[in-house]
Amino acid sequence: MSVWAFSDESERAGLMLMAVVTIEAANIAMPRASLRALLLAGQRKVHTAKESPRRRRAVLDAVVRVEGIHATVIRLRRPPGVDHITGRRLLIAASAELVVGAGVTVWTLDDIHPAQRNRDRDTIGHALQRLDARHVAYDHRRSHTEPLLWAADAVGWAVGAGGDWRRRVEPILTVVDIPPDAQHPAAHRPESEPGALPGR
């Protein structure tokens, strides 16, 4: 059984969220197609924050209906003095532990600017070395190329919005909070980056 993971980060008023959805590789084709079917004319991707309430409900319902999908949202309330870069390192390190524990073999992250992508690869490479998980392949991809990144975005948005939006994803949801006194993950570049796929 091959399990794949897709992750997307967002932030609301100092609360950072990393949504990680996992699904067996054999079940990926159908949700990709169902999410693509939600695109409007001229639209390249679904970004839940920019959708209407009706569209948000449709997207979240489509995600929850996916067979075998699970979503974990890792949250970090940034304390004073902790910047976004440091917070993201903490989220990425926690996500690496999550994907290894879930038996993930392929991890796709939403693409961002090159400097942050390199910092992510540093953090992931170090975490995979520490966890002895060199079998995990990971990469950043532009969200318009991978509909399951839209699923991660949707779940993260729903948890951040709270209320009925969060209730809609509860059947597939786990939420994990990083303690505010969590230590800064090591940020040095390892001798090699296990599993890193060539940049796109």
Q: What is the pTM of this model?
A: 0.89
Q: Is residue 197, in this structure, part of any structural domain at all? A: no
Q: Tell me if 192 is assigned to some domain.
A: no
The answer to whether position 182 is within a domain reads no
By three-state DSSP, how is residue 44 classified? coil
Q: Within a domain: residue 191?
A: no
Is 107:140 a contact under the CB 8 Å cutoff? no
196 — pLDDT class (breaks 50, 70, 90): low
Within a domain: residue 199?
no
List pLDDT tens digits, range 153-170: 999 999 999 999 999 999
Exposure of 4 in the CB half-sphere (CA atoms within 13 A): 15
Residue 81 inside a domain? The answer is yes
Structural domain count, the chain: 1
Domain of 84, CATH number, reads 3.30.420.10
What pLDDT band is residue 195 in, cutting at 50, 70 and 90? low
**Structural domain boundaries enclosing 60:** 3-177
